[in-house]
Structure 1
Amino acid sequence: MDRSKGVPVTTSPSAELSTSVIRMLRMLQATRVRAPRVHPAVEASHHSVLVAVRDAPSRVGDIAERNLSDASTVSRQVSHLTSLGLLHKVPDPQDGRAQLVALTDEGAALLDELVERREAWFAELLDDWSESDIAAFIGYVDRFCDAVSTDQRHRP
């Protein structure tokens, strides 16, 4: 509805989705500000780096690719997290000249606490949602992310 004139406006489902996704992006940015903090010097933007090396050490370029970021940004993040004692560099067993980024014990503990707090926060946010609503939302979010991830049309 055109709120200024009180006249219904017909929009396509894709137009409505586009508007909703833009709103969701703003809300996701708000979650970065409102999300639980576990370390005063660790920003929300650092979390994806910690998660990227949770299961196995990785090269900076691989972390950047996984996080849809550039290597210079990830390199700065890794340097910062290393200075905090949350990450350290280890030799790459496949190429002795290269280094991998790995979690320290302190980094693993911080990541565990972060995940625990984030899950508790989301549980509170979605307290009035049914399990089936949450499951459906997860399915749609994953499906949408997969569609965006595989879209090759507007890549630089």
Structure 2
Amino acid sequence: MSDAAPANDDALEGAALDDAVHRVERELGRLFARIRVGWREAAATVHPDLQPLGYQVLAAIVSGHANTAGALIERLQTDKSAVSRQVRQLTELGLVDSIRDPDDHRARRLVATDLAVERVTAARAVYEGRLGERLRRWSAADLDRVAGLLDELGR
């Protein structure tokens, strides 16, 4: 009978772990849904015709994290046609300029206009204000732990 107890404990521990994994998956799903809503709201702040992916493209350009179509594709993990459509729309809206790369005249660089920088900054301020308000309720130690766990999960 002594062998049955550890096996039973293992089964209970396994079930508890499965439940915890499902809860994390559910909460990540809720978080991602909130992030998508935030992107939609930010896109509308920048321009009423801008889609959430267009906002992500523009934010990557404004932040300097990506300034070529290839870099955007890599950063956003999306396909070339989607990025091309968004860049075309951003250009038509006066939010992005496409200029020749001074180092490689065959390549194009994407540069945010002053209007884009102003509007993305305003959209980010709203989002970061809401997020910051919630996160400031936690201790620095809790925030460090969450950041570390998210970093580990993302690897």
Given candidates 53, 58, 81, the residue that maps to 1:50 is 58
- Aligned position for 1:41: 49
Matched, 1:69 2:73: no
| Deviation digits for residues 2-41 of structure 1 (CA, Å, limit 9, x no counterpart) | xxxxxx7843647733551353134312332256432323
Report the structure, 1 or 2, having the larger helix content: 2
TM-score with structure 1 setting the length:
0.73
What percentage of residue pairs aligned between the two structures are identical? 27
Q: Which residue of 1 aligns with 2:32?
A: 28
Cα distance change, pair 33–119 in 1 and its aligned pair in 2 (3 A): same
CA pair 50-10 structure 1, distance change in 2 beyond 3 A: same
Structure 1 SS opposite 2:105: strand
- Number of equivalences: 139
TM-score w.r.t. structure 2 length? 0.74
Structure with larger Rg: 2
SS of aligned partner of 1:24: helix
> For 1:31-69, what per-residue CA distance to the aligned partner results, in whole angstroms no more than 9, with x for missing partners?
322564323233332232123222276221121111111
| Contact 1:86–1:103 (CA under 8 A) maintained in structure 2 | yes
Contact 1:57 1:102 in 2 (8 A): no
Q: Report the Cα offset of residue 138 of structure 1.
A: 1.5
Give the aligned partner of residue 122 of structure 1: 131
Cα RMSD (Å) of the superposition?
2.6
Question: For residues 55-134 of structure 1, what are the structure 2 equivalents within 5 Å?
Answer: 55=64, 58-134=67-143
Structure 2: gaps (5+ residues): 1-11
Structure 1 unmatched runs, 5+: 1-7, 148-156
Secondary structure at the counterpart of residue 97 of structure 1: coil
**Once the two structures are superposed, what CA deviation does each residue of 1:54-94 show, in whole Å capped at 9, x if it has no partner?**
22762211211111111111111111111211111010122
